[in-house]
């Protein structure tokens, strides 16, 4: 029963978003060749964790799940209270949560600055305020949530670099947010792309992102989709 209710909430949210976008064709985020970061992350050894918000978490998780060195990619909610960390509440737009993905990675294989470059090249459009592609609302905002001072410094430097790059006609509005508790999303959201490859949404908006990752970052791309077990 609970799963049926959650699925119904998703269908309703999709219908609302579709109605909101009538008159303006929904488009995927623009793929760009973001510049190599000038500031290189110096994170030491051992696995590290960071949180990325860049629109619907299905695509964010899907892309990072194909990046070498990423050990875990969990879809969830960040920014709000525990009592509102459910999908059916998030989609109302009345919480402070963003759909986000918690990434655990090995910096020996892929550094934080390299993850940032991938994120802004093929995942999110940093000039879209409180929306991404067809999805509208503050819960679809583009945000970085560093979990260390080094990540914060690298993220700030890269946002400034992007803003002065001339890649976009509009200013970069992606913001850095203070780390709060991350809440994993419901099970049916996890590994959504691989579970639902023929979803119209996935085929139109998210599969092109993975294809762009493979083309633009062949050294970072792995063909096998990361399945990292229970999401906690």
Catalytic residues: 56
CB count within 10 Å of CB 100 equals 28
Which one, of 13, 232, 21, lies nearest residue 139 by Cα?
A: 13
Nearest alpha carbon to residue 101 among 221, 182, 186, 179: 182
Pairing of the two strands 98-105 and 70-78: antiparallel
User: Structure tokens of 182?
Assistant: 């991350």
- Which residues face 74 on adjacent strands? 102
C-alpha 19: how far from chain center = 24
From residue 122, alpha-carbon distances to 8, 64, 96, 132, 232 in Å are: 30, 10, 25, 12, 27
Chain length of the chain: 232
CB 100 within 8 A of CB 175: no
């Amino acid at each position: 029963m609970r799963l049926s209710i959650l699925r119904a909430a998703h269908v309703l949210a999709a219908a609302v978003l579709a109605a909101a976008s009538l008159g303006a064709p929904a488009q995927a985020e623009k793929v760009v060749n973001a510049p190599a970061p000038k500031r290189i992350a110096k994170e030491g050894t051992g696995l590290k964790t960071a949180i990325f918000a860049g629109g619907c978490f299905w695509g964010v998780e899907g892309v990072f799940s194909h990046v070498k060195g990423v050990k875990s990619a969990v879809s969830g909610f960040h920014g709000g209270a525990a009592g509102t960390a459910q999908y059916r509440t998030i989609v109302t737009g009345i919480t402070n949560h963003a759909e986000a993905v918690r990434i655990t990675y090995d910096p020996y294989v892929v550094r934080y600055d390299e993850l940032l470059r991938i994120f802004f090249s093929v995942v999110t459009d940093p000039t879209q305020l409180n929306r991404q592609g067809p999805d509208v609302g503050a819960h679809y905002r583009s945000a970085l949530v560093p979990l260390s001072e080094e990540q914060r410094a690298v993220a700030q430097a890269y946002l400034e670099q992007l803003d002065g790059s001339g890649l976009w006609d509009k200013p970069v509005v992606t913001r850095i947010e203070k780390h709060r508790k991350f809440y994993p999303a419901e099970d049916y959201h996890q590994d959504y792309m691989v579970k639902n490859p023929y979803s119209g949404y996935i085929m139109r908006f998210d599969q092109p992102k993975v294809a762009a990752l493979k083309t633009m970052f062949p050294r970072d791309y792995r063909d096998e989709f990361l399945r990292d077990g229970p999401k906690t």
